[in-house]
Amino acid sequence: MTDSIRPDEKTGRSEFAFASEQLVSQVIPTPDAAVRLRPLGLLNNRIEGGLWADRRRVNHDITIPFGAEQLEKVGNLLNLKLAAGASGKYRGADDDTGNTAPFLDSDVHKWLEAVGWELAQFPDEKLLALAEPIIDLVAKAQRADGYVDSYYQAALPGKEFTNPEWGHELYVAGHLVQAAIAWHRGLGDDRLMAIALRFVARIEAELGPGKREWICGHPEFEMALVELYRTTGEARYLEFARTLVERRGHGILAPCRYSARYWQDHESVRTAPEPAGHAVRQIYLECGVVDVAVETGDRELLEAVIRRWESMISTRTYITGSLGSRHQDEAFGYAFELPPDLAYAETCAAIGSVMLSWRLLLATGESRFADLIERTAFNGVLPGLAFDGTHFFYSSPLLRRSSGAEVLEGPVTTRRQEWYLIPCCPPNLMRFLSSFSDLVATVGDGGVQIHQYVTGSIDAPVNGGHVRISTETNYPWEGVVNVTVDESVADSWTLSMRVPEWCPRATASLGGERLAESGPGMIELTRRWSVGDNLTLELDVSPRVTVPDPRIDAVRGTIALERGPLVYAVEDADLPAGASIESLEVAVRPSLGDVVRSEPGLGEMTWITLDARLRQDVSGVRWPFRNVQDEPGFADAGSRIGIRAVPYFAWANRAGLGMRVWLPTRARKSDG
């Protein structure tokens, strides 16, 4: 913590000494929290150009308004109207237990959170006009005792707090709290906060410390409670969160058809060695555990989360940063169980991974957490939203066959949809994009740390004063980042810039003088910075070949293509007529090139080029296995073709079905 960040005595919120605005951020550790870095917030990390600015503009102009339409169309808002006294029947698709989905209010709350962060940065009367009646509706739906959950009010009145396993009541309440915090911090609007505080009080009276030994089957409420403590200064919210964290892992929840691992009730959060069960539930729980750990100074809790995070990235994370190997229970599988075609890889799990890594980055200051944020944001989250802003992925597989693969499992399709029966991912994407600038840079240890590279500006409190930095880059397409000091302080301060784990070398130069050269980690430059100083960071974004750990059986004998922070994929749309991604084979070490091109539906971006061969068509055989002596190998003349790979986040935005990230190889002397 720097002396320039002080808590407001009335609200408990942190405040920049140099600015009149409150710090606007999803996560604001208290001044006494055990963290190494502090957020700068949405208003002090501004994204003004480039890929992320484009995606955020689509979110503001198209996706968020479209979300409001869908919430009305599919019945989320109707359910709240029923809770407010209207007549009718609760609308909600059955989940895989055969029960009507009880958590649909949470999608309204996530949408409201997105609007709160968006309006804090970009005032917009049209967005405000969409949100106003929905806030009023939530207020009207709240009962006199503070309870507000349309499923139990409209579908199961009198059954409140009777189904901890599947009821999702605390999950819904957590998202309401987070929406309230967004409007409170971003706009100074406390209408949602008043609703949230009354609901939390109702829950606290029923389930708080010293009350019933009860936890929610879907963690989320824990991190919301800690942020409520940080916002209000009321220590009882932190104690409630700590109590819920400590209750988990002691068999409170009833046996589940997937085992207690499904909802992380099989082992204490202090001792569990690896992530387990439902991926989103595990990640959301970890977020709450980190928040409790840093606010209580509990190093054992923090180290337990880091231990599971390390297990997760070394054995259960896709190359895209996505999480979850199994559709049946939306869960982490065994170590190295990472099938590309049946990848669960839910968008919400990827967003949750970013939320967790952000908290760990603040807690430890270690750049490896920012590395995973980058990988996951580009390759695990961005694919969830089509370029048109109105179609979404629930799951993002790493292989979609050219035919016969329209459905992965159950209702999960391999094409983006306008909405889903369980629509948790679309509004989660909206709030992620609305708050993404929070992740760009932090302040701490007498300086500024830049973690994600964008074109924009950074304002930060340093050494009792104020520094302002502007950044300009064509990242991720190019590896040059220009950093200009626009305002500074008299004393020396440290400017730190992340060198990503994929980058073999990076250099930092000032006015033609090379100041530093580094591999992965952080370049830290401490000096008396002057207004007008222009620093150039150069990262090597050359295309590269990646091989999987041989223990990942599903992709053994394949390679993947990466360039800078981006994972690439080959689509049928870029192959010769009649060819499919199933027929491709490439050299183990292919010669890679890159080319900038503009494609209808995609716009301009950098592609990777390489040579491949087409396998012979053996589709007419009765038996799909052959003696090695009879193996046909490559086709003869004309089998060699040039192919190009598209950034994975851009796939499925054109006609055509087939796509693969992992390309089969065949090591032969004749391979080029």
Grade residue 463 by pLDDT with cuts at 50, 70 and 90. Answer: very high
Angle of helix 51-58 versus helix 425-435 axis, rounded to 10: 130
Query: How far is it, in rounded angstroms, from Cα 541 to Cα 481?
Result: 12
Question: Does the pLDDT at position 672 exceed 80?
Answer: no
User: What pLDDT, on a 0 to 100 scale, did the predictor assign at position 402?
Assistant: 83
Question: Does the pLDDT at position 178 exceed 80?
Answer: yes
CB atoms within 10 A of CB 298: 17
* Residues 6 or more apart in contact with residue 96 via CB below 8 angstroms: 410
pTM of the model: 0.93
Grade residue 3 by pLDDT with cuts at 50, 70 and 90. Answer: very low
- How much is the average pLDDT of 145-158? 97
Residue with tokens 């729980």: 285
Grade residue 576 by pLDDT with cuts at 50, 70 and 90. Answer: confident
Looking at the chain, the whole-number percentage of residues with pLDDT higher than 70 is 91
Looking at the chain, the whole-number percentage of residues with pLDDT higher than 90 is 82
User: What pLDDT, on a 0 to 100 scale, did the predictor assign at position 8?
Assistant: 40
- How much is the average pLDDT of 514-529? 96
Torsion sign over Cα 317, 26, 152, 103: negative
Question: Does the pLDDT at position 500 exceed 60?
Answer: yes
3-state secondary structure of 399: strand
Contact 225, 175 (CB under 8 A): no
Find the helix or strand (DSSP H, E) in which 49 lies: strand 45-49
The encoded tokens of residue 602 equal 């995609």
Range in 5-19, 114-128, 364-378 with the lowest mean pLDDT: 5-19
Closest CA to 586 of 602, 577, 597, 575: 575
Running DSSP on this structure, what letter comes out for residue 418?
S
Quick: pLDDT tens for 194-240: 999 999 999 999 999 999 999 999 999 999 999 999 999 999 999 99
Quick: pLDDT tens for 256-277: 888 889 999 999 999 999 999 9
Distances in Å between the Cα of 437 and the Cα atoms of 48, 369, 433 are 10, 16, 8
Based on its alpha-carbon atoms, the radius of gyration of the chain, rounded to whole angstroms, reads 25
Residue with tokens 């939390």: 200
Find the helix or strand (DSSP H, E) in which 568 lies: strand 566-571
Quick: pLDDT tens for 472-481: 999 999 999 9
Question: Does the pLDDT at position 95 exceed 60?
Answer: no
| Cis bond upstream, residue 476 (ω within 30) | yes
3-state secondary structure of 393: coil
Distances in Å between the Cα of 430 and the Cα atoms of 112, 172, 425 are 10, 17, 9
Strands (E), 388-446: 399-400, 407-409, 412-413, 441-444
Query: How far is it, in rounded angstroms, from Cα 165 to Cα 148?
Result: 19
User: What pLDDT, on a 0 to 100 scale, did the predictor assign at position 667?
Assistant: 56
- How much is the average pLDDT of 157-176? 96
Which string of DSSP letters, residue by residue, matches 138-186? HHHHS-TTS---HIIIIISTT-TTS-TTT--HHHHHHHHHHHHHHHHHH
Torsion sign over Cα 383, 388, 392, 398: negative
Find the helix or strand (DSSP H, E) in which 72 lies: helix 64-74
Grade residue 413 by pLDDT with cuts at 50, 70 and 90. Answer: low
Sorted by where each starts, the structural domains of the chain and their CATH numbers stand as 53-90+101-167+181-209 (no CATH), 248-439 (no CATH), 449-539 (2.60.40), 543-664 (no CATH)
User: What pLDDT, on a 0 to 100 scale, did the predictor assign at position 259?
Assistant: 87
Average pLDDT, rounded, for the chain: 91
**Angle formed at CA 561 by CA 558 and CA 563, multiple of 5 degrees:** 160
Question: Does the pLDDT at position 19 exceed 60?
Answer: no
Quick: pLDDT tens for 131-147: 999 999 999 999 999 99
Which string of DSSP letters, residue by residue, matches 303-352? HHHHHHHHHHHHHSB-TTS-B--BTTTTB--STT---STT---BHHHHHH
Q: In what order do the strands lie in the sheet with 38-39?
A: 38-39, 441-444, 447-450, 493-499, 521-527
User: What pLDDT, on a 0 to 100 scale, did the predictor assign at position 410?
Assistant: 55
